[in-house]
Amino acid sequence: MLVVAPNKNMQHRVVFTPSGLDGVVDDGVTVLEAARKLGADVDSVCGGRGICGRCQITPSTGVFAKWGITVSQDSLSAPAETEINYRAKRALVPGNRLGCAAKICGDLVVDVPATSQVHRQVVRKDLDLEPITVDPSFSLFYLTIPEAQLGDSISAADALANAVAAQHKRRAPEVARRTLGTLHAAMAKAEGEVTVAVRHTATADQIVAAWPGFVDSAYGIAVDVGSTTVAGHLCEILTGEIVGSSGLMNPQIRFGEDLMSRVSYVMMNPGGDVELTRAIRNSLNELIDSLVNSAGVSVGSVLEISIVGNPIMHHIVLGIDPTPLGVAPFVLATNESVSGWATELDLNLPNAGYYVGPCIAGHVGADTAAAILAEGPHRSKEMQLLVDIGTNAEIVLGNVESQFAASSPTGPAFEGAQISAGQRATAGAIEHVRIDRKTLEPRVKVIGSHLWSNEPGFLESLGDTQVKGICGSGIIEVIAEMYLSGIIDKDGVVRGELAAKSSRIVGDERTFSYLFYEHGETKLFVTQNDVRAIQLAKAALRAGIDLLVEHAGMPTVNDIRLAGAFGAHIDPVYAMVLGLVPDCPVSGVRSVGNAAGAGAVQALLSRQLRHEMEDVVRKVTKIETATEPRFQQLFVEAMAFPHKTAATPNLAKVIDLPLRERKTDESPGSTRSGRRRRSTGGVAE
């Protein structure tokens, strides 16, 4: 075998996802060595000897416009002897390499799976599920089948169908063809005592699974496939009990942080759509395994999986080319719900069907349909604003009379991307920030510790966890606190004249930055570019909201619900300070967690609610922000904090706004006396 010596004079660029860390390394170093050099989170117990297998990584190939590099099969060395031996003796995931053995020979984009990370991502997708009436699509029937005799002409399928009819006084069900191969084994193992699962449809009942003996529980899985995270819930479909929840990062992040960059990857790389589909289906199987293993149930007892997601995720999961959704007029392949067998989607659920919810429009997907089902604006007498804040923000405004929906391209800034110190919500990420109004000194709270940074024992409470960045909720708070403290003005400009007052204001070429955390060599700043990124994201969101308000006839909205992994952790006051949402009584703004996931659970557990979701989305008026002539003007007005033209009298009642803004933000004739405001040190704890 020909061995090529490393070229010590050659260097290559390496990008690690989902962290986004990148850098230049020498030719011939291993991926594990590169990870250690660049600070990427890759586990290894055996010290790189190819024994433990914890350093498994997933390399990618193709053109990555985001980073301006092209990755080929030759970017990694051929499998080494240690890898070949490990694959032969243990489970090396197909497509993965051992980071300790794979050597870098060219520019490289490599994904670090959750199982290979020391500090695994904390996926925050909470479920806030209202009580519902369970109306399952399945029933279980315990049967006693007489022993077959020589000369009997009845088949196993007929015997089971007839037993259901005779012993449970039901119409005789059909038997799914894919179930036929399991019938003899089920009947033989328990000497004729069998439990069958029957799926109910509008046209017929159908036996979809058979187990030996008595079985009294069956399960379903509801999944919200987000562009950043994938969250799933394992439910007992006959009782409605949620027996387990789990989540993981969407592995497609390595193809692009936002949806359009993933569509671009497909456009630029033949077969890229197949690669994206394979990645998300593998992720779904990982999620399925996590859920059933944690609950101690078998995959064979899962009878259905309901899936919702934005239109691009919807298409990719189903194996449909998403590129038409990347260009005008953004035409869906279908806006109807889609059903079939889970194995058709390469999911490890041998007895399950799948149900993928209906989309609303090219940029408003099944996740929004599920959120509408969960929060019920179509059932509300009052006008309700539902906002799912993510890489793409979905907005619904309506009541029992009419509903409007739109999507705004907020980008990944709210989730930490495009922010100099940004990171995802994991241990060590700053999630809360307060700034003293007089001294401009900050204090922070970090995921993994209950203490503020100015409290005794803060550093000790972190243990081995290092503070390296700030997550979405922290970004919102630090920008809002900078505005409330006067560090930035209404237009988002960092006020350099304050450098004479505080060493926290630091010159940064022709602009200024704010130092909000430092310890040892770690210094975290909010730069002028960071403020602009948040302004652009929030302006896109607010302009979309204002557009729907105009289409709805300029209603007063006092019921605002923030959904999604990010929306669930935003302080309503800070959301209003930034102008993310219109001014209203603060008590009217609340987080509702993963509304899309809650809707997916409801659609799994109730046929009636599933039909309700399919019916309501047909009545939603879709607003395409890209073609609306007013969108640009609304966007410009929304760039200011909280807003250029809209007054904020309700906000002014609960928090001290900067003096220069109060004349426009306080209601006419109001006085400062008698107002209950938040403390000058920030939001009260």
pLDDT (tens digit, 9 = 90+) per residue, 29-65? 999 999 988 888 888 766 676 777 878 999 999 999 8
End of a domain among 526, 548, 583?
526
Statement to judge: residues 156 and 200 lie in one domain:
yes
CA-based nearest residue to 535, from 423, 642, 386: 642
Q: What per-residue confidence (pLDDT) applies to 607?
A: 93
- Would you say residue 418 has pLDDT above 90? no
Quote the domain boundaries for residue 204. Answer: 138-212
In a domain, 517, yes or no: yes
**CATH number for 19:** 3.10.20.30
Residue 618: phi and psi, rounded to 5, are: -70, -20
Q: What per-residue confidence (pLDDT) applies to 663?
A: 44
- In this structure, are residues 625 and 330 in contact, taking their beta carbons and an 8 Å threshold? no
List the beta bridge partners of residue 305.
Answer: 221, 354
Q: Would you tell me how many other CB atoms lie within 10 Å of the CB of residue 462?
A: 18
- Would you say residue 658 has pLDDT above 50? yes
Q: Would you tell me how many other CB atoms lie within 10 Å of the CB of residue 664?
A: 16
- In this structure, are residues 125 and 229 in contact, taking their beta carbons and an 8 Å threshold? yes
Could you tell me if residue 457 is left (phi over 0), alpha (psi between -120 and 50 degrees) or otherwise beta? left
As a whole number of angstroms, the distance between CA 655 and CA 667 comes to: 14
* 3-state secondary structure (DSSP) of residue 330: coil
Statement to judge: residues 143 and 234 lie in one domain:
no
Cα 113 → chain centroid: 16
Residue 76: phi and psi, rounded to 5, are: -120, 150
- Would you say residue 561 has pLDDT above 80? yes
Statement to judge: residues 196 and 249 lie in one domain:
no
- Would you say residue 176 has pLDDT above 80? yes
Confidence class of residue 150 from pLDDT cuts 50, 70 and 90? low
- In this structure, are residues 526 and 466 in contact, taking their beta carbons and an 8 Å threshold? no
In a domain, 390, yes or no: no
Query: Which residue would you say has higher pLDDT here, 85 or 618?
Result: 618
Query: How do residues 96-112 score in pLDDT, each as one tens digit?
Result: 999 999 999 999 999 98
Q: Beta strands of 628-674 (E only): which ranges?
A: none
As a whole number of angstroms, the distance between CA 192 and CA 209 comes to: 15
- Residues of the chain with pLDDT > 70, as a percent, come to 90
Statement to judge: residues 234 and 342 lie in one domain:
yes
- Would you say residue 390 has pLDDT above 80? no
CA-based nearest residue to 259, from 331, 329, 307, 311: 311
**CATH number for 306:** 3.30.420.480
Query: How do residues 332-347 score in pLDDT, each as one tens digit?
Result: 999 999 999 999 999 9
Statement to judge: residues 193 and 269 lie in one domain:
no
Confidence class of residue 189 from pLDDT cuts 50, 70 and 90? confident
Return the structure tokens found at 142.
């315990």
Q: Could you give the C-alpha distances from 594 to 225, 359, 567, 675, in angstroms and in order? A: 11, 18, 9, 34
Query: How do residues 478-532 score in pLDDT, each as one tens digit?
Result: 999 999 999 999 999 999 999 999 999 999 889 999 999 999 889 999 999 999 9
- In this structure, are residues 328 and 277 in contact, taking their beta carbons and an 8 Å threshold? no
Residue 15: phi and psi, rounded to 5, are: -120, 125
Least confident of 67-76, 186-195, 217-226, 657-666: 657-666
As a whole number of angstroms, the distance between CA 406 and CA 397 comes to: 9
Statement to judge: residues 234 and 339 lie in one domain:
yes
Please report, to the nearest 10 degrees, the dihedral formed by the alpha carbons of residues 615, 359, 377, 540 taken in order. -160
In a domain, 514, yes or no: yes
**Within 13 Å of residue 481, how many CA atoms lie on the same side as its CB?**
30
Mean pLDDT of the chain: 88
Q: What per-residue confidence (pLDDT) applies to 666?
A: 45
In a domain, 494, yes or no: yes
* 487: DSSP letter: S
Residue 212: phi and psi, rounded to 5, are: -70, 145
Statement to judge: residues 347 and 443 lie in one domain:
no
In a domain, 406, yes or no: no
- Would you say residue 152 has pLDDT above 80? no
As a whole number of angstroms, the distance between CA 113 and CA 387 comes to: 30
Q: Would you tell me how many other CB atoms lie within 10 Å of the CB of residue 461?
A: 14
Residue 641: phi and psi, rounded to 5, are: -100, 130
Statement to judge: residues 226 and 340 lie in one domain:
yes
Statement to judge: residues 196 and 253 lie in one domain:
no
In a domain, 679, yes or no: no
* 305: DSSP letter: E
End of a domain among 369, 387, 403?
369
**CATH number for 201:** 3.10.20.880
- Residues of the chain with pLDDT > 90, as a percent, come to 62
Q: What per-residue confidence (pLDDT) applies to 664?
A: 44
End of a domain among 475, 503, 526?
526
* 3-state secondary structure (DSSP) of residue 585: coil
In a domain, 66, yes or no: yes
In a domain, 572, yes or no: no
Confidence class of residue 670 from pLDDT cuts 50, 70 and 90? very low
Please report, to the nearest 10 degrees, the dihedral formed by the alpha carbons of residues 202, 204, 209, 213 taken in order. 110
Q: What residues contact 632, with CB distance under 8 A and at least 6 apart?
A: none
As a whole number of angstroms, the distance between CA 386 and CA 610 comes to: 20
Tell me whether residue 347 is exposed, middle or buried, using C-beta atoms within 10 angstroms of its C-beta: 0 to 12, 13 to 18, 19 or more: buried
- In this structure, are residues 450 and 497 in contact, taking their beta carbons and an 8 Å threshold? no
How many domains would you assign to the chain?
4
Return the structure tokens found at 675.
């107002």
- In this structure, are residues 31 and 93 in contact, taking their beta carbons and an 8 Å threshold? no
User: What pTM, to 2 d.p., does this model score?
Assistant: 0.85
Tell me whether residue 149 is exposed, middle or buried, using C-beta atoms within 10 angstroms of its C-beta: 0 to 12, 13 to 18, 19 or more: exposed
Q: What residues contact 329, with CB distance under 8 A and at least 6 apart?
A: 362
- Would you say residue 680 has pLDDT above 70? no
Statement to judge: residues 227 and 361 lie in one domain:
yes
Statement to judge: residues 287 and 191 lie in one domain:
no
Statement to judge: residues 110 and 144 lie in one domain:
no
Q: Beta strands of 204-309 (E only): which ranges?
A: 205-212, 219-225, 229-236, 242-249, 302-309
- In this structure, are residues 47 and 73 in contact, taking their beta carbons and an 8 Å threshold? no
**What is the arithmetic mean of pLDDT over 147-173?**
84
Q: At what angle do helices 631-638 and 528-551 cross, to 10 degrees?
A: 130
CA-based nearest residue to 103, from 88, 87, 81: 81
